[in-house]
Structure 1
């Protein structure tokens, strides 16, 4: 990105209707195993955006996960969410071809705050306090789920056939079979999920990675919901299960709402915003699904490193979380033996 500044500046000027643009302070942000994020300051001369703007340039990583969206799709998701009142950084300009920097990217306003999960679960002052943060997250998720198909802007999203749960099970099983990895506990979990799958219900836009670490907060509250590259039409309860799953509490397991608050506070705000009561048992089902899904993703991440697609220590180490996830799967299915796998 840094060596393409001379091409980036005139491109932004054209998008902003400006006489000239100067890009300063360009630096790669930490995190982003799936995508890369670059912070920058723009000095825009002339046009409707004249002035100084703090932005983030979100671009493709050298290799990716097959189920993640491209930048054009994610840009569309940001636009729809922003219009629906979800707290997301305002999407500004999209470059979908990769001709400017070598990779597709889009530019969005920079949100201030902290996203690091290990900090959020330890610092009670962030997000306006535990109750306020859990409630704010519940409201945000309900606003996301208020976005329903059909939406022409989101016509790239596949509609799951039949039950979203059964659809997800089939995908994870197909990947494990194709990868040729032997994971008996994951197969056990998939069979349990298959036997206990809820019927198809309402379909809504699911963020599909709504968890601690993928939103930002400051001392006053929530400032941004981030990382929409896995969003899809599906069962909205999948998002609640993903958020509440033990694997996304960053060690603060007693705080069942993402490690940052109480499950009841999170649920209460979701129900108030959505106007619909939650079935706790179905959310529990999707917590098992979330744990299986994260285990599969962890194996996929490691495969990106091992296959040579991207040499990256973070990717290589990700697979080491799988044994802990397998223990969680065994524990959750033991505690909820609605129907035991054969």
Structure 2
């Protein structure tokens, strides 16, 4: 760190502490010369292999956005091999919190939403000449083909994801004039303080594409967190979000393209969660968090089914769902009870943890909860033949009883993986009348 800071005329770092957020990259906060900074780095050099571009390009995009009036951080320096820190860069820390729970509890959510729309429009105004030439452009059809390959490599045995893939192939829109997309614009990647937006973070997925892709991504149910009822970034309604974006950008939001990209990015994130298990197994990132994120695939499956079922026949949407209820065992301790025992022990050492260890402690308890609930609920297996049937056009949402079967799969799996996921309660009310 000292070697990297020497290039900027800054003193040695102090108070170095790892931040808890970041699903892919590590973030470390520290002080130098009385100012706060953040180091963003990859967990390993192997983790960077196969990515479309490196941290030098990401840093250049952030600098361009900062210069265009986006509330992006100021990049101080990009790491060099001689620093011995791997791949990454250092930026000046911004005020505010990225914690969605804290942001959603702030007064002035409508103001944060309008400021987010403003920043997104400014990002979309950046031209190719203002950013590095290795920023890729998305080919819609090629992206779908890549999804299909990822799906097959992951086993090809998730019927709801197969349904999403088939829908994308049948509804892919014509190409429009591409703009620079942030690629991950959502709660969790923005900072806010006192009811105002103070920063836009995590630019590693920037690319050129349809502007509706960026607009839709932050509106996915998974990124609304506790506010499922607020479809625009968990902060407000879509009409206000679209109006603020249109006023700043001069573009009109096309609702049909918006829906397409909602489904496209839900499939993308479902496959991304699946890929986390492979990343963990292969050792590129052997953290507990990586393995646990892979189980969030079920969140996307439920969200995807709730999006797609809008096009199912009315008689299929009205068909009842046979939801499997948890059961209890007697005799020796079950797998579920062993998981409970370990969870209770972990609670006794919680106060001895701090920083990132405390965060990993919470992740470990979540993982044990998944084990416990899965053994209790016994979710139905995702059968390869169902996925194959969808892709071969032998099964669809018009097939008698198929939607009800997929609903049952989604409810059982998510009830084991993430039972507090807000959309699950909505689905239970909608599908089985549970209150």
Aligned to 2:62: 78
Aligned to 2:386: none
Aligned with residue 135 of structure 1, among 101, 114, 117: 114
Shift of residue 98 of structure 1? Answer: 2.8
CA contact (8 A) 1:67 1:230 kept: no
1:168-187 matches, within 5 Å, as 168-187=143-162
Tell me the secondary structure at the aligned position of residue 99 of structure 1.
helix
Aligned to 1:159: 137
Distance 1:147 1:337, change over 3 A: farther
Establish whether residue 21 from structure 1 lines up as the match of residue 11 from structure 2: yes
Distance 1:291 1:153, change over 3 A: closer
Distance 1:10 1:245, change over 3 A: closer
Establish whether residue 120 from structure 1 lines up as the match of residue 99 from structure 2: no
Q: Deviations over 1:129-175 (max 9, x none)?
A: 021111111111111111133x2641111233xxx432321221122
Q: Deviations over 1:223-265 (max 9, x none)?
A: 1000000111111110111011112111311100111222222
Tell me the secondary structure at the aligned position of residue 223 of structure 1.
strand
Q: What is the CA RMSD across the aligned residues, in angstroms?
A: 2.1
Instruction: Report the Cα distance in structure 2 between the residues aligned to 1:64 and 1:263, rounded to whole angstroms.
Output: 36
Establish whether residue 254 from structure 1 lines up as the match of residue 229 from structure 2: yes
Instruction: Report the Cα distance in structure 1 between the residues aligned to 2:118 and 2:142, rounded to whole angstroms.
Output: 27
CA contact (8 A) 1:134 1:262 kept: no
Instruction: Report the Cα distance in structure 1 between the residues aligned to 2:278 and 2:119, rounded to whole angstroms.
Output: 33
Aligned with residue 124 of structure 2, among 131, 141, 145: 145
Aligned to 2:329: none
Instruction: Report the Cα distance in structure 2 between the residues aligned to 1:186 and 1:69, rounded to whole angstroms.
Output: 27
Instruction: Report the Cα distance in structure 2 between the residues aligned to 1:120 and 1:198, rounded to whole angstroms.
Output: 34
Distance 1:326 1:220, change over 3 A: closer
Q: Return the structure number with greater helix share.
A: 2
Instruction: Report the Cα distance in structure 2 between the residues aligned to 1:337 and 1:238, rounded to whole angstroms.
Output: 24
Instruction: Report the Cα distance in structure 1 between the residues aligned to 2:83 and 2:75, rounded to whole angstroms.
Output: 18
Instruction: Report the Cα distance in structure 2 between the residues aligned to 1:202 and 1:291, rounded to whole angstroms.
Output: 23
Aligned pairs, number: 314
Distance 1:319 1:70, change over 3 A: same
Aligned with residue 31 of structure 2, among 34, 41, 50: 41
Aligned to 2:399: none
Aligned to 1:284: 259
Q: Deviations over 1:75-131 (max 9, x none)?
A: 111111111111101111112x3321240221111011111123323x032xxx021
Tell me the secondary structure at the aligned position of residue 11 of structure 2.
strand
Bigger radius of gyration, 1 or 2?
2
1:43-82 matches, within 5 Å, as 43=33, 52-62=34-44, 64=47, 66-67=50-51, 69-82=53-66
Tell me the secondary structure at the aligned position of residue 56 of structure 1.
strand
Unpaired stretches in structure 1, ≥5 consecutive residues: 1-7, 44-51
TM-score by length of 1: 0.86
TM-score by length of 2: 0.68
1:204-283 matches, within 5 Å, as 204-283=179-258
Instruction: Report the Cα distance in structure 1 between the residues aligned to 2:26 and 2:156, rounded to whole angstroms.
Output: 29
Unpaired stretches in structure 2, ≥5 consecutive residues: 314-389, 394-435
Aligned to 2:284: 309
Instruction: Report the Cα distance in structure 1 between the residues aligned to 2:141 and 2:257, rounded to whole angstroms.
Output: 14
Tell me the secondary structure at the aligned position of residue 25 of structure 1.
strand
